[in-house]
Amino acid sequence: MTAITSRLDRAETAATAVTSSRRRRRRRRHVKPSDLFFWSLVAVLLILTLFPFYWSLRTALSTNASLPANSTGLLPANFTLSGFERALGLASTEEAIAAGGSGAQIDFIKALRNSFIVSTMVTIGQVLCCAMAAYAFARLRFPFRNQLFFIVLTALMIPPIFTLLPNFLWVQDRGWLNTYLGIASPKLLMTPFAIFFLRQFFLNIPREIEEAASIDGAGRFRTFFKIIVPMSASPIVTLAVLTFIEQWNDYLWPKLVGQDESVRVLTTSLGNFRSQTPQGTPDWAGLMAATWVSALPILLLLLLAGKRLVNSIQFSGIK
Amino acid sequence: MAATSMGTRRPHRDVRQWLTAAAFLAPAMIGFAVFYFRPTVLGFYNSFTDKELLRPESDWVGLENYREMISDDVFWNALWVTGYYVLVNIGVQTICAIGIAWVLDRLSGSRVMRTLVMTPYLMSNVVVALLFLWILDFRLGVMNAFLDTIGLNPQPWLSSKEWAIPSIALINVWRHMGYTALLLFAGLQTIPKDVKEAALIDGCGEIQRFIRVTLPLLRPVLAVVLVITIIGSFQIFDTVDVTTEGGPVNASRVIYLYIFDQAFARRNFGYASAMSVALFLILAVVTIVQMRLLRANESDLA
């Protein structure tokens, strides 16, 4: 049957070679096996991607006591907001313990604030310094420019743990352990990726614009901040969003240098969770609420800048 | 190259321009020197010393650390475990990503779908690890409850020797497959439409056409994507640290975790440095071999 239809199709295609594929698809009424395969793949993909998010939300809105008896229901078991209240520190210690939380809970609000401080520091510092450096590599003339740029790029090949060990000693020697500066420092001034990313855009700005500015008597710094930066607002914002998310999600370095509660960021606090409850049953509802709260800023950024993030993917590839 | 073109200019103007360039470069290059260049050199140097955490002085010990590494069973185990992880992770992830890239291509790159498949990648490793720590929990996790309803035996996913690494590998497949698919999809966009349509006229089915015509044309992109994902995969740390901490025993003690243990729990900085040099070399070799094998620089379209 399919052999016959496909032969008919072929005859039809040969007869009307110019017919657009869309018109042909509309004329054909039967469902092709590849359509079936396609839509089942879409369904599986949607379920696979969304289910873990949904499941943690469902757990966050349940009570710990009712989770064992109801481990598969799609709706929250015994709906409550107390998981979120515990995660945000709105519940009193007694309430938290009664609901299955640990008495010594993490100060989640403080961790949220610390993550914001560190990520904002890194985003502003890195984007500003890398934009200036990228402009120099793209436009200014100086000796060994291309060699220097090549050396910066080769740093992309070095595994982070390689530089992490000596960096730790350096930060320790400066007395920067358990400070915001210590957590932010390795990426505060530059990453090779950021310079590479912005240089690509600066290279495409027509030279005539800068020449016009220099005839008007503007120096390089004025030209850069008054003309180049506003013109490149879009890639700069994209880089800022990428940098913020990456810093927000960073785990290993903050774990090493920022264990003190006064500077501890979200990832480190959440990561400590398992070692804090080695034997007893963890406060799953509270934990899932906490992961949702910590993912929320990223989900918001995704809503606001999803298009930029998706479009930046060709560049992220070289990371 | 730049110097020759400047030869005709007046020298003091050149110097002024160099100073401007230096001012533009200074902050970023200070960051580069302190946090990239210096530690790279020092990393190599430390691997030949008996450097310890919290002890300022250290002595040159030559190849001692490397000798110790070669006879260290835990190191070889860590390499083996990491290799196993990379194999499962990259194998499953690449197949899934190719499937998703095909879906995206057929949907003409629907923005909603592209944003959706990227979402897991934007979540931190810690958040993803915790989501699955719950889903895969032995007693209360929905995974085992599901297996139970379809008549299969529940498994202690993250706490058993057999399942720890495959579980962690699949957790990271979930996080990375959409992102990898988007990289492949970007490659698909570079294949001219008429090449794809020529195959249609030849009477290939749609899936067959994708496998026989589109995928081989995608090879250069696939090679680059594989190099990126494999290098990333070798550096697995966060997920292991949050879910199993290397256990049970050493069943999931990947190389990053072992380097970390040696450096910070046992303070053997010299030895940890030697192992990171080894990791660096392994990654360099993997990259070169892969580019060769997949003949990444040749495109069939050229």
- The whole-angstrom separation of Cα B231 and Cα B243 is 22
DSSP character for B49?
A: B
Structure tokens at A91: 């519940």
Whether residue B172 is found in the same domain as residue B113: yes
- The whole-angstrom separation of Cα B269 and Cα B258 is 12
Residue in A closest to B55 by C-alpha = A169
Nearest to B238 among A21, A248, A251 (CB): A251
Nearest to B228 among A164, A302, A317 (CB): A317
The reported pLDDT for the residue numbered A319 is 41
Q: Tell me, yes or no, whether B54 lies in a domain.
A: no
Among candidate residues B289, B187, B298, B181, the one with its CA nearest the CA of residue B229:
B181
The reported pLDDT for the residue numbered A78 is 74
Whether residue B101 is found in the same domain as residue B241: yes
Question: Does A96 score more than 80 pLDDT?
Answer: no
Q: Tell me, yes or no, whether B145 lies in a domain.
A: yes
Whether residue B154 is found in the same domain as residue B228: yes
Whether residue B182 is found in the same domain as residue B42: no
Q: Tell me, yes or no, whether B256 lies in a domain.
A: yes
The reported pLDDT for the residue numbered A271 is 82
Q: Tell me, yes or no, whether B181 lies in a domain.
A: yes
Question: Does A105 score more than 60 pLDDT?
Answer: no
pLDDT in tens, chain B (302 residues): 444 444 455 667 788 888 999 999 999 999 999 999 999 999 999 999 988 887 878 889 888 899 999 999 999 999 999 999 999 999 999 999 999 998 888 887 788 888 899 999 999 999 999 999 989 988 888 888 888 888 888 888 888 888 999 999 999 999 999 999 999 988 888 777 777 677 666 666 777 778 888 888 888 888 888 888 999 999 999 999 998 888 788 899 999 999 999 999 998 999 999 999 999 999 999 888 887 777 655 555 54
Q: How confident is the model at residue A5 (pLDDT cuts 50, 70, 90)?
A: very low
- The whole-angstrom separation of Cα A67 and Cα B152 is 21
Residues of chain B neighbouring A198 (CB-CB closer than 8 A): none
Domain that includes residue B9, residue range: 2-46
Bigger pLDDT: A128 vs A37:
A128
Whether residue B154 is found in the same domain as residue B33: no
Q: Tell me, yes or no, whether A236 lies in a domain.
A: yes
Whether residue B83 is found in the same domain as residue B153: yes
Among candidate residues B99, B230, B248, B228, the one with its CA nearest the CA of residue B161:
B248
Nearest to B280 among A162, A167, A169 (CB): A162
The reported pLDDT for the residue numbered A8 is 43
Q: Tell me, yes or no, whether A232 lies in a domain.
A: yes
> How much is the average pLDDT of A35-53?
90
The reported pLDDT for the residue numbered A19 is 42
Whether residue B140 is found in the same domain as residue B171: yes
Q: Is the ipTM of this complex over 0.95?
A: no
Domain with A125 in it: what CATH number? 1.10.3720.10
Q: Tell me, yes or no, whether A158 lies in a domain.
A: yes
Q: How many domains does chain A have?
A: 1
CA distance B240 to chain A (A): 11
Q: Tell me, yes or no, whether A249 lies in a domain.
A: yes
Q: How many domains does chain B have?
A: 2
* Residue B210 near residue B102, CB atoms below 8 Å: yes
pLDDT digits (tens, 9 = 90+) for B151-193: 888 888 888 888 999 999 999 999 999 999 999 988 888 777 7
pLDDT digits (tens, 9 = 90+) for A223-249: 899 889 998 998 999 999 999 999 999
Bigger pLDDT: A209 vs B68:
B68
pLDDT digits (tens, 9 = 90+) for A251-281: 999 999 998 888 999 999 888 766 666 456 6
Q: Tell me, yes or no, whether B101 lies in a domain.
A: yes
- The whole-angstrom separation of Cα B117 and Cα B100 is 9
B115 touches chain A (CB under 8 A): yes
Whether residue B137 is found in the same domain as residue B31: no
The reported pLDDT for the residue numbered B3 is 45
Whether residue B87 is found in the same domain as residue B228: yes
- The whole-angstrom separation of Cα A130 and Cα A148 is 14
Domain with B230 in it: what CATH number? 1.10.3720.10
The reported pLDDT for the residue numbered B299 is 55
Residues of chain A neighbouring B34 (CB-CB closer than 8 A): 170
Q: Tell me, yes or no, whether B86 lies in a domain.
A: yes
Domain that includes residue A121, residue range: 108-276
Q: Tell me, yes or no, whether A60 lies in a domain.
A: no
B40 touches chain A (CB under 8 A): yes
